[in-house]
Amino acid sequence: MKKQYVKALIYSFLVSPISYLVVWMIFDGLDLIKSVEFIITFIALQILYISGYLLINRRIEKVLYVESSRLIEKLKLLIDQINRIHSSKELIDLLAATLNSDFKKVQPLIYFKRKKTFYLVNHDVNAIEHFKLKRKKQRIVNSLLESDRMMISGRKIDFHDVFDRDISELIFTEHVSHIVPLHSDNELIGIAFVSKRLSKLFYDHKLVQKLEIFFNTISAIFQKAQLFDMIQKKSLENKILLEVGRNISSSLDLRTVLKSILDGLKQILNYDAAGIFLKKTNEEYLERLYTIGYDNAALDNYNLKQNHGVVKWVFEHQRPVAIPDVNADPRYYNVRPSTKSQLTVPLFKGDELMGAFILEKDHLNFYTDDVIETSLTFAQHASIAIVNAQLYQISKNEKALQTEMINAGNIQKALLLKRPLVINNFEAALLNKPYKFVGGDVYDMYKFNDDEMIFNIGDVSGKGSPASILMAVIYAGFRSFIRTNLEVSEYNARLNHLLYETTSSTYYATFFTGYINQQKRELTYSNAGHNPPLLIRADQSVLQLKTGGMVLGFIQEESYLQERVSLKNKDILVLFTDGLNEAFDNKEEEFGNDRIIEIVQKNFDRSVHELKYLIYDAVKKFHGKGENLDDDITLIIMRFIYD
């Protein structure tokens, strides 16, 4: 209030000389008594002026204080609710509803970024729904992120220079007062605009602080929610993958299998029309196996040619193609007038092209890289299903079935690494022999850089097609989790939860996850009930890597331990599935770990490839049935070379 007193006094003294001059002119020449009366009257008027001014300011300040206090309490409640949010949809719905009801006259406009476009969160406001930043002005955005102040004055921003639309006129009926960049981990994830009406309350520092907490909170929660959405989406994809796999193994009726595939795709990709088409030997046109969402009469008059349009491109390049705007691409056949974007994905039988499936959507730019990646996984399952179902329908001849199952096995092998990855100070060899044409062993490697790699090996319960399907689910799940920067033990925990939620109690898998850091010369691992890998050192000592927990899919919320092991020069790590060490001879004796250790120790200076074949040949000889082993076998041998 001191400022108001000073201000009132200044106004008073500015007015006093003028008033005095006017009165003097009127009463010029009056006697002393009249002059005294005039002075007393003048002083009284000045006192009334000052009192009135201060009274009005007190009332205004009281009103603003009440409004500011109300907003602070509302913000406290809203921040508390936001901190309990998990998904981005929940966050957006909460903000839209609360801002419109509790902050209607002073609500900030909030835009969250999806891909390169910023979309409005608020409802029922006079504002544009979306905009983009001009590419050439990215440095301006960077300066916003690097600013020491969270709220930047709108007067410092040339909206025409930064945004792709005339946002300054459409955001508020009055001018924008401040712009707030919403960012997390140095990435711009949104922008908020503060109106002049709200900024009038900024004299209250508590309100400003609470607003900054609010903006920081929604930035952090939105980023976490996006990660949660991605994990949920991947989990849904894996569940549907498993369901499709169940349908594949439970039915050999072609239409039933194809319907289950497209139904699964619908749940994840939400297409508006889809079709599966196969090549026909020595014919120009593709065979239409199954379609959803098309006008059948239009399709009857339409034949998809192998050497025309988008199909020709896909067959020539042997990879998917997404058309963001079909009206701008001459390769598209206009069968559905409402279609805006299209995705065509090839189907393979081994290395041979067998056809394609086509997805269409009534929105532009729908098929992103993530969608294409998911569609490729489905394409692999569709290929297996089609091969098996077609073979059953064409012939029950065992020889023909065997040939086509080999093709299905080739498709499965396409999922798995054909050779080990290469990083510094490291060499490896691997061998995979399924018991049947398709197997239940899984292994994978993923290279982060030249010094860091994560890998796994696992064994699914059972054999044949059911095991191979579960193997594919584990493979896809592991690959989806790689992006989330998890601890080694957390990979096993999430895969365990996935298998428990999506399989029956009769299915489980052993699994070993390892992470190599060559700069630190360390191996971090977590073992989920798998045969302990053997770390055999140059001094002939042996370390069995057992730390971890229960097999995957057996207990819903199992927690897993991890252990870090130092690596030394010439260390050899031997990983294998139980088809190797549990192979029996004619006396029902197991091959066992000791024989593996003995072979490695006696041939320690041999290459990893030589060791691989020495162990495999020894198992075959021990088993006594040549190549006809009784289980899937996977063997990986790694050597670490530091000096």
Q: How far is CA 278 from CA 319, 352, 596, in A?
A: 16, 12, 47
Say yes or no to pLDDT of 562 above 80.
Answer: yes
Q: Are residues 276 and 424 in the same domain?
A: no
171-218 pLDDT tens trace: 444 566 777 888 777 778 888 888 777 777 666 677 778 888 888 888
Q: Are residues 428 and 327 in the same domain?
A: no
Quote the CA–CA distance of 84 and 82 in Å, as a whole number: 5
Average model confidence (pLDDT) for the chain? 78
Token output for 430:
């691997």
| Domain annotation covers residue 523 | yes
At 453, is the pLDDT very low, low, confident or very high (cuts 50, 70, 90)?
very high
At 2, is the pLDDT very low, low, confident or very high (cuts 50, 70, 90)?
very low
What is the DSSP pairing of strand 563-566 with strand 522-528?
antiparallel
Q: What is the pLDDT of residue 170?
A: 45
What is the identity of the amino acid at 528? A
At 524, is the pLDDT very low, low, confident or very high (cuts 50, 70, 90)?
very high
336-370 pLDDT tens trace: 889 898 898 888 887 788 888 889 998 888 887 77
| Domain annotation covers residue 231 | no
Q: Are residues 123 and 271 in the same domain?
A: no
Token output for 223:
């980023």
Quote the CA–CA distance of 557 and 549 in Å, as a whole number: 11
Say yes or no to pLDDT of 1 above 50.
Answer: no
Q: What is the pLDDT of residue 411?
A: 58
| Domain annotation covers residue 238 | no
| Domain annotation covers residue 236 | no
Quote the CA–CA distance of 515 and 563 in Å, as a whole number: 10
Q: Are residues 444 and 527 in the same domain?
A: yes
Choosing from 346, 375, 407, the residue where a domain stops is 407
At 278, is the pLDDT very low, low, confident or very high (cuts 50, 70, 90)?
confident
Q: Are residues 193 and 270 in the same domain?
A: no
| Domain annotation covers residue 269 | yes
388-397 pLDDT tens trace: 777 766 655 4
User: What is the domain count for the chain?
Assistant: 4
307-343 pLDDT tens trace: 778 888 888 888 888 888 888 888 887 888 898 988 9
Quote the CA–CA distance of 96 and 163 in Å, as a whole number: 23
| Domain annotation covers residue 621 | yes
- Closest by Cα among 286, 287, 289 to 274: 289
Contacts of residue 102, defined as CB under 8 A and 6 or more positions apart, other chains included, come to 74, 78
Q: Are residues 402 and 468 in the same domain?
A: no
Of residues 250 and 100, more confidence is placed in: 100
Q: Are residues 109 and 137 in the same domain?
A: yes
Q: What is the pLDDT of residue 150?
A: 55
The mean pLDDT value for 280-305 works out to 77
Q: What is the pLDDT of residue 570?
A: 95
Q: Are residues 259 and 390 in the same domain?
A: yes
At 640, is the pLDDT very low, low, confident or very high (cuts 50, 70, 90)?
very high
Q: What is the pLDDT of residue 407?
A: 59
- Closest by Cα among 509, 552, 522 to 453: 522
Q: Are residues 403 and 465 in the same domain?
A: no
The mean pLDDT value for 606-621 works out to 94
Q: What is the pLDDT of residue 628?
A: 64
- Cα 142 from chain centre: 24
Quote the CA–CA distance of 606 and 426 in Å, as a whole number: 15
Q: Are residues 257 and 401 in the same domain?
A: yes
The CATH number linked to 90 is 3.30.450.40
Q: Are residues 385 and 332 in the same domain?
A: yes
| Domain annotation covers residue 513 | yes
Q: What percent of the chain is predicted at pLDDT more than 70?
A: 73
Let me know: does 219 contact 189? Beta carbons within 8 Å: yes
> Which residues, listed in sequence order, are joined to residue 290 by a DSSP beta bridge?
276
Let me know: does 568 contact 642? Beta carbons within 8 Å: yes
Token output for 417:
């690494």
Token output for 398:
């065992």
Of residues 210 and 164, more confidence is placed in: 210
Say yes or no to pLDDT of 123 above 50.
Answer: yes
34-93 pLDDT tens trace: 556 666 666 666 666 565 555 555 555 554 555 677 777 887 888 888 888 888 888 888
Of residues 267 and 457, more confidence is placed in: 457
Q: What is the pLDDT of residue 48?
A: 64
Q: What is the pLDDT of residue 28?
A: 53
- Domain assignment of residue 39, given as a range: 2-78
Q: How far is CA 285 from CA 239, 304, 515, in A?
A: 35, 6, 49
At 27, is the pLDDT very low, low, confident or very high (cuts 50, 70, 90)?
low
Q: What is the pLDDT of residue 173?
A: 41
Token output for 569:
């020069």
Q: Are residues 387 and 422 in the same domain?
A: no
